[in-house]
Amino acid sequence: MTSVEELKLRVRELENELIKCKQKRCTAIPRIDKMSAEVVDSNPYSRLMALKRMGIVEDYEKIRTFTVAVVGVGGVGSVTAEMLTRCGIGKVIQTSHYYINISFYHSFQPNASDGQCPSVQHALTINPDVQFETHNYNITTMDNFAHFMDRISHGALQDGKAVDLVLSCVDNFEARMAINTACNELSQIWMESGVSENAVSGHIQLIIPGETACFACAPPLVVAANIDEKTLKREGVCAASLPTTMGVVAGILVQNVLKYLLKFGTVSHYLGYNAMQDFFPTMAMKANPTCDDRHCRKRQDVYKKKEAERPKKVVEQAVEEVVVHEENDWGIELVSEQTDQELQAASGPVPDLPEGITVAYTIPDKETGTSEGETVEETEQSLEELMAQMRTM
C-alpha cells in the first residue's frame, strides 16, 4: 500500500472505525428526536429550552435547523465547534488545514483531552444529535477553494442550500482572505475571529457583504503591502496561547452566532477583548467603496440600491448616512462630529500647516453655532468666568 489514494482511503477507514469505537466506549447519551423542555436529569436540553420560558429566545428548537461552517480548528475553532455542539446546532461543517491530532492542540487546548482523537470524534461524544462534515485541507489552494465554495453554498442541512453562517477561526491572513473572497462572491454572511500573537487580546467581527467592512476593505498592513506572511515567521518560535483567551473569544463568538441565528439581543459588529485590562471595545465599520475586492464593491452597489428602495424610517437614518473620506490610502471611513464647513473654516485662517493637516479645534459657523439663528456677541469674559456663570444658573 504505497499510493497516495490508497493511503487516503485507509486514513478515512481508520477514522470512521475510531469514531465508532469512541461512541461505543464514551457515549451514554442517546440521540433525541425532539427537543423537550421537561426538567428531568436525563434531558440535556432542559436548560437550553429554559431560555424560552425566561423570555430570552422565542423558538430555541430552531437551532436544529441551522448549519454553521467553522474554518480552522485550533485554539478558538475547536472551542467554537464544541460550544455549537453543546448548544445543539443542526450541523457543523469543519475544515482545517492540519490533521486534527495532539500535535495540533498545543498548550493543552480543548480536545487535547482526547490525546490523538480528532475534534469531531470528541464533539460526537458530547452531542450525537449534531451532524458533522469535515474536510482536512488547506482552503487557499485552487481545487480546495472551489470545493470550499461549493460546501458553503450547498452544505446546509436542507440539501442544496447555503450554510447559515461561516465562522473564520484561522490563524493567518491568507486563509482569512480566501474566506473573505468566497463570502463576498457568494454574498454569505460570516464572522471573523482572532487572537493576538501574545494571546492577551482578541476580537470578533460580523461581516455582511456590501453592508459592513469586509476583510479587504481595511486590510492589515501585511496584506495591503502584499508581504508573504510566512517570511515573517521564524523557525523554533510559536505564538503564545491561553485556554482562557481562547475560551472568551470563542464564547463571545458563539454567543453572537446564537443571537444572530435565534434573533435575540444585539449582534455586535466588532467586539474586542483586552485581557490585560479587561477592556472590551466595540465599533462598527462600513464597507469601503474603493475596496480591492470587486465582489465586495458589487455587493455594496446591491446594498445601496436596496436601501434606497426601502421606505425611510427614523431608526434607519444612522445606517443610511454614508460618509466617505477618500483622502486616506485605504479609504477607511471616519464619521466626524465636525461638518465639512467647520473643517474648511478651521483650516482657513491658520497658516503654515502641511497639506492634509487641519487644526484640532474648529471655528463653528456663526449661524449654526447658535440656537434658532440668534446671533451671539463676542464676549470679553474668560472661559472660567462663563463656566462659573453657568454654575450659578
Here the cell at position 291 is 475596496
Q: Which is nearer to a copy of itself, 102 or 335 (CB)?
A: 102
Active-site residue, 214 included: no
Residue 78 to residue 123: CA distance in whole angstroms: 9
Task: Compute CA 170 distance to the chain's CA centroid, rounded to the nearest angstrom.
Answer: 11
**Complex with a copy of itself: residue 75 or 155, whichever CB lies closer:** 75
Q: What's the min distance (Å) between Cβ of 77 and a copy of itself? A: 14
Asked whether 323 and 335 are in contact (CB, 8 A), the reply is yes
Closest approach of Cβ 285 to a copy of itself, in Å? 16
User: β-strand 282-283 against 190-195: which pairing, if any?
Assistant: unpaired
Strand 91-95's sheet: what is its strand order? 131-135, 91-95, 67-71, 165-168, 190-195, 201-207, 270-274, 282-283
User: Least distance in Å: CB of 204 to a copy of itself?
Assistant: 9
The amino acid at residue 108 is F
Q: What minimum distance in Å lies between the beta carbon of 379 and a copy of itself? A: 4
* Nearer of residues 240 and 322 to a copy of itself, judged by Cβ: 240
Which CB atom, from 39 or from 224, has the smaller least distance to a copy of itself? Answer: 39
- Joined together, the cell numbers standing for residue 130 give 449534531
Helix (H) or strand (E) segment spanning residue 208: none
Compare residues 244 and 290 and give the one whose CB is closer to a copy of itself.
244
Q: Which is catalytic among the residues 21, 214, 238, 291? A: 238
> Which residue do the cell numbers 467603496 mark?
289
Distance CA 160, CA 163 (A): 9
The grid coordinates listed for 91 are 450541523
**Residue whose CB is less far from a copy of itself, 19 or 332:** 19
Residues whose CB is less than 8 angstroms from the CB of residue 381 and which lie 6 or more positions away in sequence, other chains included:
389
Q: State the alpha helices, DSSP H only, in the chain.
A: 4-26, 46-53, 75-86, 119-126, 142-154, 173-186, 221-224, 243-262, 294-309, 317-320, 340-347, 366-369, 383-391
What is the nearest approach in angstroms of a copy of itself to the Cβ of residue 368? 10
CA distance linking residue 29 with residue 127, whole number of Å:
7
Task: Match 470679553 to its residue by C-alpha cell.
Answer: 380
**Catalytic residue numbers?**
238
